[in-house]
Amino acid sequence: MGKRKFDFRTIMMILVLFLGNIAIMGTTFYSVIMTQLYATYEEWVVNLTMSLPGILGMVSCLLCGKISDKVDKKWLFLLGMLLFAITGTNLGGIAYSNNLLLIGAAAFNGGVCYGMVSVSAVALISDYFEDEGQRSLVMGWYNGAMALVGAALSFSYGMAATVDWKLASAVNWAAAVVVVLGLLFLPACPPKKNAENAEAAVKVKGERGWAKNLIPLVAAFFLVSFAIMSVMTYIDLFVTANNLGDASLTGLFGTVQTISSFIACTFFGVLYKKLGARISIPAYLLLALSVFIMFIAPSPVTLLLGSAIMGVSWGTAYTYWFFRATVVVPQNMVGTATGIVTTANSLSYLPMAYVVTGLMGAMHTDNFRDLFPFYIVIVLIVFVGAIFLNGRKKAEAQN
């Protein structure tokens, strides 16, 4: 596998993919205008607007994963960005006056477009950077950029909403700029030829099949994402119930988590070169530790310390899942594998609200902190599983 030179066109290609995260993080503007949405529309309209993208996202990720192995990934990415530029911005116009258009636009930009862009972007990186070391490096940068883009978008949505809450989504017009840049700098990325497919298939057959390697990865992604994203999403309940501060402290938690995640993603390639697949083991342990620190001694200090540790370990684990999916399957199935792990990510969000309310009701508690041991145990189970799988692979390699 030859290494790529980081010349001007390669750098511009990477930049386009980084900016493509607008379509992945772009629906966060809903959180900025959530109060106004519930005040303007019936509850069922807002709830469907929030939940439908996740359901369609699962279908889109699986479908686009398979499609990306059959078509030029460049055009799948550009089509996804173009659709997002249209559906992600019309909420600032006619969609706000029509229930079905509001729901439909959200379903497209948060579900269909999310699947098209997220799957094709990772597949483009995998195809372009055949060298595993370079690929892990760029994949880390890509996920780091996702955190930065998300932070920049949240700030921009907030600023636009202070003028008029209906203008928040207008920020998503930036996706149109990405489409233009993509036309200029994204390289063609057609499906792998049959000869290459056969060679890749033979290689993976010696590894006892791609499914055997991908299934544990997907299971870990689902379980850990469910546990940690539950804590991240409902952290404001923890702050309020334990009298730690106001919304500004919750916001600071998110900021610290984002910055530390960006740092971890940036250095992922370096760490992966030294640890390989074992990099997931300390990541899982640190994720459990971050929640334990906040649980055992709730305070503003432990909240921010836990946030920093969570950011570093989450950025590492998240990048590992996506990168590893491109390594354990034949090159002609990278899109399919990426679609599967992205679907696991989407699936992990669906039970969160129901588990939180269900457990708090069953435990007769109003304090979200009481649920932390449940999430810690889930992550530790995956941690032990990772140790076992890595030990078994090492033993197989020695035989």
How many of the other CB atoms lie within 10 Å of CB of 382? Answer: 23
pLDDT tens digits for 113-147? 988 998 899 889 988 888 888 888 898 898 888 88
pTM: 0.76
Q: Is the pLDDT of residue 219 over 90?
A: yes
All domains in the chain, ordered by first residue: 8-191 (1.20.1250.20), 197-398 (1.20.1250.20)
**pLDDT tens by residue, 82-117:** 999 888 776 545 556 677 778 888 888 888 898 899
Give the CB-side neighbour count of residue 353, counting CA atoms within 13 A: 4
Does 207 score more than 50 pLDDT? no
- Give Cα separations from 229 to 2, 48, 198, 300, 341 (angstroms): 37, 20, 39, 20, 16
pLDDT above 70 as % of the chain: 90
**Residue 346 reports pLDDT greater than 90:** no
Q: Kindly report, residue by residue over 223-274, the tens digit of the pLDDT.
A: 999 999 899 888 888 988 899 988 778 878 888 888 898 889 888 888 888 8
CA dihedral for 254, 256, 261, 263, sign (positive or negative): positive
For 354, counting Cβ atoms within 10 Å of its Cβ (0-12 exposed, 13-18 middle, 19+ buried), the class is: exposed
Q: Which residues touch 141 (CB under 8 Å, ≥6 apart)?
A: 14, 18, 265, 266, 269
Answer for the pair 136, 321: CB distance below 8 angstroms, yes or no. no
Task: Identify the residue whose tokens are 């432990």.
Answer: 302
The helix-helix angle for 247-266 and 300-325 (nearest 10°) equals 40
